[in-house]
Amino acid sequence: MSDAPAYQIRAYRSGDEHGILETFNRIFARVDPTFRPRTLAEWRWQYERNPSGRRIFLAVADDGRVLAQYAGIPQRVLLDGEPTFFSQSVDSMADPEFRRLAREPLFVQVGRAFDERFGGVGPEQDTLMWGLPVPAAFRIGKKQLKYELVRQQHKLSAPLARLAPRATPLEAEELRAFPDDTDALSARAAHERRGMAVRDRAQMRWRYEENPHHRYRLAAVRRAGELVGVAVFRKGSFDLVEDGLLVDWLAPAGDEDVCAALFAWVCAAARAEGCERLTALVPDTAREWLAFQRSGFRVLATRYFLVAWSFSARHDLPWMRRHWYYTLGDTDLA
Amino acid sequence: MSALHATPDGFELRAWRTEEPAALEAFEPRREARACLFRPRSAAHWDWAFRRNPAGTRLFLARRGGRVVARYGGLPVRTRVLGETRTFANLLDSGLQQGESDDEVLVPLAQAFLAAHGGPDGDLVHYGWPDERDLVLGRRHLEHELLRVLCLLARAPGPGPRALPDGVEELARFGPEVDVLYACCATHWHASAIRDAAFLNWRFAEHPVRRFRLLGVRGGSVLRGYAVYHFDPELLSGPALLMDWLVLPGDEEASERLLAAALACARADEARGLAAAFPEWSPWTTYFQDQGFLHHPTEFLQVVRSAVPRFDMLWLRDNWWATLADALIL
């Protein structure tokens, strides 16, 4: 084991990305046999081009080596119409060579600094930090940070053969890009949902159209010219199963015609891609939870559990449990 | 046992002993944040919970001048964990008389309970579905952590017969054949309450207040499966409850008959639904959905506190078989 180098805990500075990637690719290659090194272009997409910003805190040695990172993917969020941020904790790491040299684990030190810098209420702060941690990170996080369970994260899954979309006068159109009026649809949806990440055109373009990892298919439904629903699909792996993934879903929960049109498109897309099953992720408190079950989906366990810590007494975890709407697209899992 | 804590003004904290009289006043409505589902109002109900439980007694009371001012307790359950018999305790809602302090009375009482029963050689797991105050108390002072949101599988009984189907009989009590059934089923789980005749008869057949219908399917002298049905329109907003369910996986005929029987009971009671609960990983969760049950979250949060780190909430989530029988103390 090396001697403890002098280090400082601080926010990301331009140029740190090279040290971050060196440490990231070295550490994760050791623990994940399927790991593919992250490229600088991929890093820039995730941390520089997200319209909602960047969240990175680091433990950096005097010689520039990155010893630990606590990072998040921020999301602009509307809570009861008021703007704020959430951030999904991702890519947290501590170089095993140094992680136990300090009085308390570097991961914890950096995590605390991250909380202090970004956590809070109001339009500039992260009201909620959340994640779907691996067990080891969860055990540390609940003990030394503020991780709390929101729910065991179940999925909705169905063989395509069981899904029979109902008739609807509307039709979903497959698009190559999100249209301008995605902003208005996102605003209306946020009003209906009470707690939801902004899904405006800029965010959706970044998340799906410009994504360097995956190719997504998207579709929209219009009624009398107005955009009333969008869905995002891709074939891929979630929870170690290769499925058709309903990655995003933005439609008025009670508007059966819109939902049926999107649903018909998603099923057709899944068939066209040769999928046997369709899988979706929504909170069990969302209206879609029962609606999808009534359409033929079954609730299945996953290995994931959603953890979070809220900085707001008003929008605490019970509130989030009841009102926060999210899909697979909110996570970095699909 | 002498008082763990006593002051000259007559305040004391200690375990309630089975040779003492019942202390029904401990469960009178006081400051509870919600109506307590378990509220013994008779000596028989008290005795059932605190004298006759085959797994023992877990109840601490705080008294001031001889009057009970707080309670903290649970019902222990013998539980098979990786083949060994251990004890879990299902925590009851705590109680605190108005005017008494959480910090000065309830917290030390709960901590005394934990110190007496929560060591590695005591109760392996404490668990419960706390109200808001107990949730805070448990997390701040008792090492409780959230395990899951309680979810129910529920459906309307729908049209159909109201009488038990052929092949299903109503049992008065469980006999030794249930021990064999449990022993066969338990091999599928790393942890489960020991559903032997002693436990099941105490839990259901001998309950002094509630009527549980014990539905069984036999094959000769072998019990192939059972279901425990209960209906009280006041409970959980009104569905009939499938309190317990034990069938060998793969015995589809017994499953179909028992479920048909429970639905018939629900129709006969004019219940608006039938609800059950299983761990999310259980094949029964899928089976019941295939039979028309939908998965609903509730507002109840399950907390656990393990005396041994190895059996933490992640392990319990993935390995502990539990039904409404493990959740609802009535």
Partners of residue A103 on adjacent β-strands: none
> Of B293, B295, B296, B310, which to mutate for an interface test with A (greatest number of A Cβ within 10 Å)?
B295
Domain borders along chain B are 5-143, 151-300
Closest residue in A to B301 (Cα) is A151
A193 and A291, same structural domain?
yes
Chain A residues within an 8 Å CB radius of B291: none
The predicted pLDDT at position A101 comes to 64
CB A287 within 8 A of CB A254: yes
Please check whether the two domains, B5-143 and B151-300, share a CATH topology: yes
In total, how many domains does chain A have?
2
pLDDT at B165 over 60: yes
Whether residues A290 and B313 touch (CB distance < 8 A) is answered with no
Q: Which of B1-10, B43-52, B75-84, B223-232 has the lowest mean pLDDT?
A: B1-10
Confidence of residue B119 (pLDDT cuts 50, 70, 90): confident
A103 and A52, same structural domain?
yes
Which ranges constitute the DSSP H helices of chain A? 16-31, 40-48, 106-118, 135-144, 182-193, 201-204, 256-272, 287-294, 317-323
Nearest to B202 by CA among B36, B43, B92, B52: B52
Q: Which of B280, B294, B313 sits opposite A154 (nearest CB)?
A: B280
Chain A residues within an 8 Å CB radius of B151: 284
Across chain A, which has 334 residues, the per-10-residue mean pLDDT values are: 78 97 95 91 97 97 94 97 96 83 82 96 97 85 84 96 94 97 96 96 98 97 98 96 96 94 97 97 96 96 94 96 97 94
Q: What are the backbone dihedrals phi and psi of residue B182, each rounded to the nearest 5 degrees, phi first? A: -60, -45
Confidence of residue B3 (pLDDT cuts 50, 70, 90): low
What percentage of chain B exceeds 70 in pLDDT?
97
Question: What CATH class does B5-143 carry?
Answer: alpha beta
Q: What is the mean pLDDT of chain B?
A: 94
B140 touches chain A (CB under 8 A): no
> Of B280, B305, B315, B319, which to mutate for an interface test with A (greatest number of A Cβ within 10 Å)?
B280
The predicted pLDDT at position B31 comes to 56
Residue A111 is part of a domain; what is its CATH number? 3.40.630.30
The predicted pLDDT at position A1 comes to 46
Residue B30: DSSP 8-state: S
Closest residue in A to B139 (Cα) is A148
CB B88 within 8 A of CB B76: yes
Whether residues B312 and A298 touch (CB distance < 8 A) is answered with no
Question: In whole angstroms, how far apart are CA A319 and each of A150, A192, A322, B43, B90?
Answer: 10, 15, 5, 41, 27
Statement: the pTM of the whole predicted model exceeds 0.90: yes
Give me the domain span that covers residue A243: 155-305
pLDDT in tens, B14-28: 999 999 999 999 998
B211 touches chain A (CB under 8 A): no
Tell whether A217 is covered by a domain. Answer: yes
A199 and A299, same structural domain?
yes
pLDDT in tens, B242-274: 999 999 988 999 999 999 999 999 999 999 999
The predicted pLDDT at position A135 comes to 84
A289 and A174, same structural domain?
yes
Whether residues A151 and B148 touch (CB distance < 8 A) is answered with yes
B183 touches chain A (CB under 8 A): no
Tell whether A234 is covered by a domain. Answer: yes
Mean per-residue pLDDT, B141-168: 96
CB B179 within 8 A of CB B196: yes
Q: How many residues does chain B have?
A: 330
Q: What does B60-87 look like in DSSP terms, one character per residue?
A: EEEEETTEEEEEEEEEEEEEEETTEEEE
Whether residues B295 and A293 touch (CB distance < 8 A) is answered with yes
Q: Which amino acid is at B269?
A: D
pLDDT in tens, A38-48: 999 999 999 99
The predicted pLDDT at position B2 comes to 60
Q: Which of A135, A148, A299 sits opposite B314 (nearest CB)?
A: A135
Cβ-Cβ pairs closer than 8 A, A with B, add up to 49
The predicted pLDDT at position A31 comes to 84
Alpha carbons B45 and B51: distance in angstroms, whole number: 10
B304 touches chain A (CB under 8 A): no
The predicted pLDDT at position B32 comes to 53
Fold of the domain built from segment(s) B151-300: Aminopeptidase (3.40.630)
A273 and A171, same structural domain?
yes
Tell whether A60 is covered by a domain. Answer: yes
Place of tokens 């793969």: B250
pLDDT in tens, B53-80: 999 999 999 999 999 999 999 999 999 9
> Of A151, A152, A316, which to mutate for an interface test with B (greatest number of B Cβ within 10 Å)?
A152
Question: Last residue of a domain, which of A122, A146, A170?
Answer: A146
A189 and A278, same structural domain?
yes
Interface of A with B (CB under 8 A): 135, 138-139, 142, 148-149, 151-152, 154, 284-285, 289-290, 293-294, 298-301, 305, 321
Chain A residues within an 8 Å CB radius of B149: 151-152, 284, 321
Residue A119: DSSP 8-state: B
pLDDT in tens, A189-238: 999 999 999 999 999 999 999 999 999 999 999 999 999 999 999 999 99
Q: Which of B149, B279, B294 sits opposite A293 (nearest CB)?
A: B294
Q: Which of A139, A148, A299 sits opposite B146 (nearest CB)?
A: A148
CB B144 within 8 A of CB B187: no
Cα dihedral sign for B195, B196, B199, B204? positive
Question: In whole angstroms, how far apart are CA B191 and each of A185, B92, B253?
Answer: 48, 21, 26
Tell whether A323 is covered by a domain. Answer: no
A178 and A109, same structural domain?
no
A142 and A72, same structural domain?
yes
Closest residue in A to B315 (Cα) is A135
A118 and A226, same structural domain?
no
